[in-house]
Structure 1
Amino acid sequence: MAYTMKETAYGETAAYGGLADAIGGVATIVLAVIGLAGVHGAFLAAIATIVFGVALMIQGGTMLSEFAAIYFPQGLKSDASDVSVDQFGGASLSILFLVGAAGVVLGVLALLGIESAILTPAASIAFGTALVLTSNSVWRLYVLGRASTRSGLGTTQTQAAQMVGREILASDMAAGSAGIQALAGLAAIVLGTLAIAGHQADLTLNLVALLTLGATVVLTGGSLSATVLSFMRPWQQ
């Protein structure tokens, strides 16, 4: 009973974390669009950098906590790829948290007027790099969670059948978001590099990079929520 309550609490916390970073992505999009419209572009770029950094920290912390909560019986193998779970880990997810924190610092410095034309594009490059390096993290979380759930923790045939719909949705969203996140990260790196190199439209390029990053986090935030909800057994809710 205690295990059930703990598992449910972890699932709900992670699902809310996915929603929170998706909201941060929406806020980043709104700020970038307003900036592209010509309303205090440099100021809003710095604010959007801070907001996105916070969203990235939330996403990284949420996924790290969910990795820590998954139960792995000794010798368990993923039924999707027949790969030992020892090859998967949450170490790379710390990059999201650290880069998010660094982005917040850079955004604050830019907001104070310290080399904003350099610091905000640098933050976009860092954000893009973090997204590329962790692009398959949601998929890994899904694979490990599914393997753990089916590892003999007392799941009956009826209970397993109830999970099929959630698993299909979570699988599609997790797999689809991996490629999109990698491409968006690369785009942000390119745009940030052009902006920091002194392109005449550097502010526009940086705002477009932030817009792309925000849209990506909206997607991955929703994917994370769907993935975690697929692990929460219907009879526990």
Structure 2
Amino acid sequence: MIERRSFDSLGGADHGWLKAKHHFSFASYNDPKRMGWGALRVWNDDTIASQTGFPPHPHADMEIITYVREGAITHRDSLGNEGRTEAGDVQVMSAGTGITHSEYNLEPNSTRIFQIWIIPDGHGKPPSWGAKPFPAGERSGRFVALASGFKDDTDALPLRTDARVLGATLKAGETTQYALAKDRYAYLVPAKGSVELNGIKLDARDGAAIHNEPTLEVKALEDTELVLVDTSR
């Protein structure tokens, strides 16, 4: 089962400094049919104006992954962590028992991010944050785990949930596959470019909700950058 969710069908909000599109219900956007996908709860497509951002605010009991598509985001939190994550790179914040953080675009141009929230497997652990560069060449033609709760994904940022976030870049005409285990839920979004997913066309920033598909075959119709979440129920 693959359900294409076109970019134009997504909920959203325009706050001036922030233009957001929501793949799932979030804030004032509420769609009972789009409350999450397995343990995946939030996938926001955010465009943040230069010299603006999210002021300090708290979170708890959530795995929050930020994939930077264009520009860079600067993070600060109540643990004393600070970092700047650039396009193509990833940061993970495990909110745990509670953390306060800010995310600002201090760049001269707009920054575009995917913000992904996944429900953790347990509670009561201390909060943490980390970031890592993932050069596009290392995921050329194949999916690479960027953040993962699986011990075998040793190069990925750690997650406290039975899930992984993967990235891939494909040249026009290239094809790659991903094996999806039984009873898993997957959600795929082309950050750039268009693809065919098991014969279904997806344009840039469309979403695909996937279940009971043992093999995902992705063919690039043009140069593309992909983000995929594979999660449990």
TM-score (structure 2 length as normaliser) = 0.23
Q: Which has the higher helix share?
A: 1
The structure whose RCO (Cα within 8 Å, separation 6+) is larger is 1
State the structure with more CA Rg: 1
**Higher fraction of strand:** 2
